Amino acid sequence: MKKIHFLFIASLLLVLSSCSSDDSGSRSSSIFSTPITIGNYWTYDVKGQAGITRDSLYVSNDTIIGSNTYKKFKTENNIATGFYSSALRNNGVRVSNGKLLLSGNLSLAGGQTLPIAVDLTLNDFVIFDKDATNNQALNSSPKSGTINETYNGYPLTINYSLQSYGGETLATFNSPDGTVYTNVKSTKIKLNVSVTTLLSGISIPVLTNQEVLISTQYLADEIGVVYTNTVTSYTLNPTAANFLGVPVSNTQSQEEFLNTYLVN
């Protein structure tokens, strides 16, 4: 009888433990929503070196890319000054297992202060994962490659690497504009770049490998992105900067504050 009693208690504890784990996992996958229904819109006050502008981002329609259906994001009058709205503009986003996957062209340096423009073609690049831990890489490998461009008559070889990372999980987030949001998660996008050019037939470094862009987005449950902070920074080879006619170094920041929104 004692043996049977012991086995019964052990089995009961095992069942309760399993239920507890299942409940925890279920809560983790269900309590945070990133709504991207057609008709949803968000407006952002963008604060940067040029002053304050306004971006209007909205979900326009369904679009098929490859074999998947995405929600296509657009901006009013096809204008975007903030990093976040620029990143989503005219691109497709879909939700899969708590992740936001972006497909399309990510144009950088439009509203940023990089010495070169980088246009990246992305396919299901994970920009957010609600179950990611802090600093966890969201893509199995970064989006990397080489771009050859000519700038002011000089050939440039640009090597880049783009990766996104999980961020903080916050019960309460106080936006710098004073607005308080609950149940917030952050995500980071980082761009590493190196650039070389040819001067008198000799290859010289223009930009040694640097983390030139870090953009942090804060997403609130059932709302979406409520605040974005983007920092661009670089230091060039002084000789190359002189030939190219660009500043040797620059560091600037840009903030995007949620102003109004409608989500369904």
pLDDT digits (tens, 9 = 90+) for 113-170: 566 666 688 999 999 999 999 999 999 999 999 989 888 888 999 999 999 999 999 9
Residue 107's contacts (CB-CB under 8 Å, 6 or more residues apart) are 86, 117, 118, 119
Mean pLDDT for the stretch of residues 184-209? 93
Residues 241, 84, 28, 63, CA torsion sign: negative
19 vs 243: which has the higher pLDDT:
243
Alpha-carbon Rg for the chain in angstroms = 23
Whether residue 160 contacts residue 148, with contact meaning beta carbons closer than 8 Å, is answered with: no
Report the SS3 class of residue 228.
Answer: strand
Mean pLDDT for the stretch of residues 10-32? 39
- Can you point out the beta strands (E) in 6-135? 41-48, 51-65, 68-75, 92-96, 99-108, 118-129
- Determine the pLDDT at residue 245: 86
Structure tokens at 36: 């991207």
Whether residue 53 contacts residue 81, with contact meaning beta carbons closer than 8 Å, is answered with: yes
Report the SS3 class of residue 158.
Answer: strand
Q: d(Cα 27, Cα 22) in Å, to the nearest integer?
A: 9
User: In b/e form, how buried is each residue of 26-64, taking b as 16+ CB within 10 angstroms?
Assistant: eeeeeebbbebeeebbbbbbbbbeeeebebbbbbeeebe
Whether residue 189 contacts residue 127, with contact meaning beta carbons closer than 8 Å, is answered with: yes
At 50, is the pLDDT very low, low, confident or very high (cuts 50, 70, 90)?
Answer: confident
Phi, psi of 178 (to 5 degrees): 100, -10
* pLDDT 10s digits, 74-128: 999 999 999 999 999 999 999 999 999 999 988 764 555 566 666 688 999 999 9
Q: d(Cα 62, Cα 22) in Å, to the nearest integer?
A: 34
One-letter identity of residue 30: S
Q: What's the pTM value of the predicted model, to 2 decimals? A: 0.84
Residue 255 confidence (pLDDT) above 50: yes
Structure tokens at 188: 């980071």
Whether residue 192 contacts residue 212, with contact meaning beta carbons closer than 8 Å, is answered with: yes
